[in-house]
Amino acid sequence: MNRRDFLGHTAAFALTGLALQHPSFSDDPPVKVAVVGTGGRGTDLVRKLSTIERANIVAVCDDYEPHLTRGGEAAGPQARNYLHYEEMLQKEAIDAVIVAVPLYLHYAVCRDAIHAGCDVFCEKTMCYSVAEAQELVKLVQAHNTIFQVGLQRRASAIYRQAKAMVQTGMLGDVFSIKAQWHRNGDWRRPVPVKRDHPDWQRLERKLNWRLYWPYSQGLMTELGSHQIDVANWMLGTSPARVTAFGGTDYWKDGREVFDNVYCIYEYDKQDKEGHSYTARVTYSSIQSNAFEGASELIMGTKGTLLLTERTGLFYKEGGEETVDWQGGEQDEASAAAATITSGKTLSLSNDPWAHRGKPFEIQAGSDSTRDQLISFLDNVQQKDMKTICTVENGLINTASAIMANQAIQEGRTVEFEI
Ligand SMILES: NC(=O)c1ccc[n+]([C@@H]2O[C@H](COP(=O)([O-])OP(=O)(O)OC[C@H]3O[C@@H](n4cnc5c(N)ncnc54)[C@H](O)[C@@H]3O)[C@@H](O)[C@H]2O)c1
């Protein structure tokens, strides 16, 4: 029995998805990197960067001492610590800046880093407003900056495999996507002084910036941007319009941003014969119930992909004996996927989809956050502006996330305009 036959006879199997390929540049000097914002995410990025040989962390910056100390310790003794990023940009010879400050500061830090001649990796969501994102596109283009947005699913073996499966027609036509990020928690960081302390207000806003509109766009930019990016990527286009509802209904603790959002996005598409149709994406993010967590369901006429950061599952539609493969680039793994004939019933399962048979499983294999950093460093070393998530992707993502907030706030359907 050859491999193809074997896979064809197996009801379920797992494979490691399409990992990013990284060239090795042993002769290139390491990239001199600085990280601005060593809070939760920034420190995590510092830790991952310190495991990557081609990164040399020369500086870290945070304007809050406890976070700067923590970031500096994670970076190691070779990294100098700064409270002000402007001083850091002036004093240090930096190739690339990693931006992990709160959303409302992304644009200013990226702009100043670009003016200082640095390449930039900016955490999602790229900008607080569409106008800022448009300015950033112009700046990056004018300076030939190598720029990547930190939407790490673009580096994930699971999501890359999923994209290949959608592109090659394994799912049939995708008319619907259902995505969600559900949590049960207050989303708060502890404030080190009591509420009646004169500095409480300042520290509350500093540490819990994501709960207040002047610094954050709430759930849509902090969580939804990841998943709307997946929808845009899988559908190969930007949304045309969105309608949405939401509110601050459960967490009555002084926060301003919504604690639940429900959105319907519409995408204007054309099939191969040139006929127009509308694909729809429903998205919800709530903070009062964590059932089913974070996932995206890509629903095609021939099959469904259930995607999470840990695993991807492919279920064929009932009546589809084999998965129809419409050609395109076929690597060994995805070609093998086309031979699956599931359709067996999981008799002792409480899986509500058991009637569809055991799914085909894609496994992650590696850490997508680390992989996206390696990919960015590759681009910097090769002076290749085509990163896995460009500033133009970042603009579309920013606009897609923010338009849902606008729909909720203004009680109307909002058209996508950039
Ligand atoms: N890609 C992901 O999965 C992911 C996960 C978490 C956070 N993020 C993103 O990372 C960014 C940071 O989020 P976080 O959770 O780390 O927030 P955080 O509040 O923990 O960290 C932000 C840090 O920036 C610092 N800071 C604020 N103003 C500064 C300034 N002017 N100069 C230098 N430092 C300054 C703060 O003191 C803080 O330490 C956000 O954009 C967030 O959306 C991305």
What's the rounded mean pLDDT across residues 191-198? 97
Classify 378 as helix, strand or coil. helix
Cβ contact 389:125 at 8 Å:
no
1-44 pLDDT, tens digit each: 233 333 333 333 445 566 677 766 557 899 999 999 999 999 99
**First CA to last CA across the chain, in angstroms?**
54
Sheet architecture: strand order including 241-247: 14-16, 360-363, 311-316, 303-307, 294-300, 174-182, 276-286, 260-270, 241-247, 414-415
What is the percent of the chain with per-residue pLDDT over 70, rounded to a whole number? 84
Cβ contact 156:309 at 8 Å:
yes
Is-cis flag, bond preceding 38, omega within 30?
Answer: no
Q: Kindly indicate whether the domain formed by 156-366+401-406 is annotated with CATH number 3.40.50.300.
A: no
- The answer to whether residue 341 scores a pLDDT higher than 70 is no
CA 124 to chain centre: 7
Ligand 1: atom nearest CA of 207 is: 19
Nearest residue (CA) to ligand 1, atom 34: 62
DSSP assignment of 46-66, as one string?
A: HHHHTT-TTEEEEEEE-SSHH
Q: What angle do CA 64, 68, 69 make, to 5 degrees?
A: 120
Nearest residue (CA) to ligand 1, atom 31: 63
What's the rounded mean pLDDT across residues 128-156? 98
Phi, psi dihedrals of residue 361, rounded to the nearest 5°: -115, 135
d(CA 169, ligand 1 centre) in Å:
39
Mean of pLDDT over the chain: 88
This prediction has a pTM of 0.91
What's the rounded mean pLDDT across residues 231-255? 98
From 35, 45, 47, 62, the mutation candidate for ligand 1 (largest count of ligand atoms within 8 A of CB) is 62
Task: Identify the CA nearest to 323 among candidates 360, 270, 361.
Answer: 360
CA 273 to chain centre: 32
Considering the domain 20-154+371-390 in this protein, what is its CATH number? 3.40.50.720
Ligand 1: atom nearest CA of 38 is: 39
103 lines ligand 1 (CB under 6 A): yes
Q: How many helices (H) and strands (E) does the chain have?
A: 13, 16
d(CA 334, ligand 1 centre) in Å:
37
88 lines ligand 1 (CB under 6 A): no
For the chain, which residues make up each domain, given as ranges? 20-154+371-390, 156-366+401-406
- The answer to whether residue 347 scores a pLDDT higher than 70 is no
Ligand 1: atom nearest CA of 64 is: 37
205 lines ligand 1 (CB under 6 A): no
